[in-house]
Structure 1
Amino acid sequence: MADLKYYDVILKPVVTEKSMTAMGEKKYTFYVNPDATKTQVKEAVERMFEGAKVAKVNTMNLKGKKKRRGMVYGRTAAKKKAIVQLTQDSADIQIFEGL
């Protein structure tokens, strides 16, 4: 298990059309540290965003894409994405307001 602090877990929010429509159901999507567990993601969201209460967390590991530059093949970095479901009485996450 990784020794991560709560402020190292969440890297950045995912801003796509699909994630924006899911916000109506209080589901927020973030890129997280690949070593983070669901428990660490839950703790990070509740500590970083005032009034947020997490009901559940779904995570998925995303492989890096194959890229080619001339004759050399390589891969982009792998990522981990987390979809955080908040409870109904929870406050909304403010960084997504106005998007």
Structure 2
Amino acid sequence: MATISKQWELRLYIAGKTLKSMTALANLKKYCEEHLKGRYRIEVIDLIEQPQLAEGDQIFAIPTLVRKVPEPIRKIIGDLSNEEKVLVGLNIRPLK
């Protein structure tokens, strides 16, 4: 029996395992666990390994977070350290 809940698909573009990239990933995982627990999927794309994937989502800076689902697509650039900005940018409503 499936529960009806909105599934979030997030794509984080990074360039190597830099401090900024790893900080962005850690922050994203923390926010998702707090606000989207069990309802999200994070795909990490390293543009050093797969540079051709930057064009599809029009990535011009890194790290960049792209919300693929739910639509509309939204993008946030940076290490995602400002939780309020990330939640507003992704249009995530706190579960509290």
TM range (shorter): under 0.3
TM-score normalized with structure 1 length: 0.27
Highest RCO, 1 vs 2 (Cα 8 Å, sep ≥ 6): 2
Structure exhibiting the larger radius of gyration computed from Cα positions: 1
